[in-house]
Structure 1
Amino acid sequence: MEALLDISRRETCRLALLLHLFVFSAAAQCLRPEVGENWILTEETLLKNDFPEGSEATLECDNGYEKKNGSVTINCINGKWSESDIVCKKKDCGPPPPEPHMTFDDSEGTLFGSKVRTLCEEGYRISGSSFRHCYASGWFGRGSCNIVTCPIPTEVENGTISWESDKKPEYGQIINFTCNPGYRLNGSERIMCSKTGKYDPLPPTCIGVTTEDSITTKIITSSAATTKQVSTSTPRPKPVTTLASMRSSTQKQDNRSSLPKRTAGTTILPYSTSSVYKDQNLQTINVNKSNRHLPVIVSVILVTIVGLIFIFMLNKCLDKRKGSYDTGEDLKPELLHFQTL
């Protein structure tokens, strides 16, 4: 009986000892550490299942962050983890790598999570993404600046163009236009590929030359060579105007009515296909046409005035003679002598 009691006591003590060891061991073990602000557990720490008393856990900064200062380890002491003093900051991607004809607007900064806008130089256009994003691995986003092109110009009817390539004209390139004989340009003779991908100004056309244009061309080409000619004149004494000279001048003026009048100081320009020179030439001819009738008008007015003066004087003489015979006025001695005879 006593033997049975001894065995029972031994088992009871053994169970008590095991229970004590289990409770003490459970109280001394730490749980898995929790992540903090901008830091996480390393892969080595994550692979552990138990964290007994005195064990160590390693830390690292979260994705997109880097260590600024502090320790990367914590320890299990009395079933609790020591405080972590690690400080993590955002990574700085720095300026984006330069690319041809491209600039960046980094007003939002270059830290992790920010983005910059890509800008192209004048005459270039973005192809791809318009933004670059700062990720943990660096800048992400593809884009390039390509030069602006314009459509290939079409052939102009009754004229030719200087563009002979199969490629599209690029920004800043100039194309010249010329018209065939008998035609003139309606618009500018030069156009340029602009930054918008359109021509500035618009392409011209070739239109047929009118009768008025032909007359202007003949007059200008016969009066001038390839350079400007400026005619000048020196002042001369003004001749006395008589009735005969006025008539002779009128006849000469009528004979020359079909020719353009060339006055002192008039500048004659060679014929040009430009509409600016055409307008100037037409204005010169219109002024000459209006001025060629001026001498005729002046001559008629002067002849009329002289005639009226002659008639007036003749009438006065007749009135004097009539008054002498009718009223018995005293005649001059010469007239009395004439009556006596």
Structure 2
Amino acid sequence: MELPFGLGNRTHMKFTSLIFFIFCCCSFVWRSEADCLTPQRGETSVLTDQAHLMDDFPEGSKVTLECRNGYVKEAGSDAIYCQGGKWTAIELVCKKFDCGVPQPQPNMIFNTSAGTLFGDIMTVSCDKGYQISGTSYKQCFPRGWLGRAQCHIRKCKFPAEVNNGKCLWASQDPPTYGESIKFECDEGFVLTGNSTIQCGETGEYNSPPPECKDISTTAAPPTTAAPPTTAAAAAAHKDKIITHNAEVTTRQEIHDKAKDSNKDVDHFPVIIGAVVVCLVVCIGAICLHRHFLKRKGSYNTREDLKPKLFLFQNA
């Protein structure tokens, strides 16, 4: 039986189209099973720019990885391959970039106790008498430490003018930390306070400027000398020790003289007793002498004249 005209052609076309559709589906399924999907980046790694430009990844394709920003390669291969529709394991090992210890800066102090790896932050400070400008910290980035800071020496303002006196500062620039300014008074005036003031670590002077007072209204000039130095203090201490020793020696001599005087006083009764004994002995001797004279008749008895008197009376 023959088909009507044109019916066979239409059936043949439909059959051909069906076969082509089945072939395409089979090709797509086969291709899908052989190709790999877009690879995923690792924990510390990413795809290179070349891998990002690839549209498909057929069997045997090679993709290169690289470390993420802030990380550097430590070990392992940076390539993965498409095998059996799957990617091989990522072997690339990356570690954080280390900025290291920063280069020393004049009068600047770095505190890296928090670490020196990518993302770590260190603090910045200045030496005594210096002031920081900029940021007080730096952070570690892939290019190194980021953050600008400088340390400038502290400056003090010019002190107020002193009436009836003058400031002995010749420079046009203000004093900086550690520098001193001296003052002196005009003739006929005496300085009250410190004759020298020093610029301190905070930008302030260690004492206010002195005053100059009229001598005629001042009872006694105050001490204007600066605090003694170590050598002067040592000399003063030595003089004090010598004075103390002299005082001790003087007191010892006075004590010895008083002791000798007491010894003389202790001998005084003995001397008086000796004198009394001598007087008693002398008086006793005189008495004995008179007694012997009396017995001989020559002691105010005038017995030796009696015979003459008798002769005179008998005549």
Aligned partner of residue 84 in structure 1, secondary structure: coil
CA distances 1:78-97 after superposition (whole Å, capped 9, x unpaired)? 21111112111000001112
Is residue 55–residue 76 contact of structure 1 (8 Å, CA) maintained in 2?
yes
**Aligned AA (1:103):** I
The match for 1:37 is 43
- Quote how far apart the aligned CAs of 1:26 are: 1.6
Q: 1:17 to 1:159 in 2, by over 3 A?
A: same
Instruction: Count matched residues.
Output: 221
In our comparison, the structure showing a higher alpha carbon Rg is: 2
Match of 2:111 in 1: 105
Q: Hey, what's the Cα distance between the residues in 2 that align with 1:137 and 1:273?
A: 59
Structure 2 gaps, min length 5: 228-315
Q: Show CA shifts across 1:262-285 (max 9, x none).
A: xxxxxxxxx975599xxxxxxxxx
* Number of the residue aligned with 1:73: 79
Structure 1 199/19 Cα, relative in aligned 2: closer, same or farther at 3 Å?
same
Tell me the C-alpha RMSD between the 2 structures. 2.5
Structure 1: state its 5+ residue gaps: 218-270, 277-341
Shift of 1:75: 1.0
Give the aligned residue type for 2:135. Answer: S
Matches within 5 A, 1:132-143: 132-143=138-149
SS of the aligned residue for 2:110 comes to strand
Q: For residue 292 of structure 2, what is the aligned residue in structure 1? A: none
CA–CA distance in 2 between the matches of 1:94 and 1:274?
Answer: 52
Q: Report the residue type matching 2:27 in the other structure.
A: L
Give the alignment partner of residue 195 of structure 2, picking from 165, 182, 189. Answer: 189
- Three-state SS of the structure 1 residue aligned to 2:51 is helix
Amino acid aligned to 2:210 = P
Question: Whole-Å Cα distance in 1 between the matches of residues 226 and 89 of structure 2?
Answer: 89
Question: Where does residue 241 of structure 2 map in the other structure?
Answer: none
Cα 1:37–1:274 change in 2 (3 A) is: closer
Compared with structure 1, are the counterparts of its residues 207 and 24 closer, same or farther at alpha carbon in structure 2 (3 Å cutoff)? Answer: same
Q: 1:212 to 1:18 in 2, by over 3 A?
A: closer
Instruction: Give the Cα separation in 2 of the matches to 1:141 and 1:153.
Output: 36
TM-score normalised by the chain length of structure 2: 0.64
Deviation at 1:33, TM superposition (A): 1.0
Residue number among 211, 216, 228 corresponding to 1:205 in the alignment: 211
Partner of 1:124: 130
Shift of 1:168: 1.0
Letter in 1 for 2:79: T
Equivalent residue for 1:115, pick from 108, 114, 121:
121
Relative to 1, partners in 2 of residues 1:203 and 1:81: Cα closer, same or farther, differing over 3 Å? same
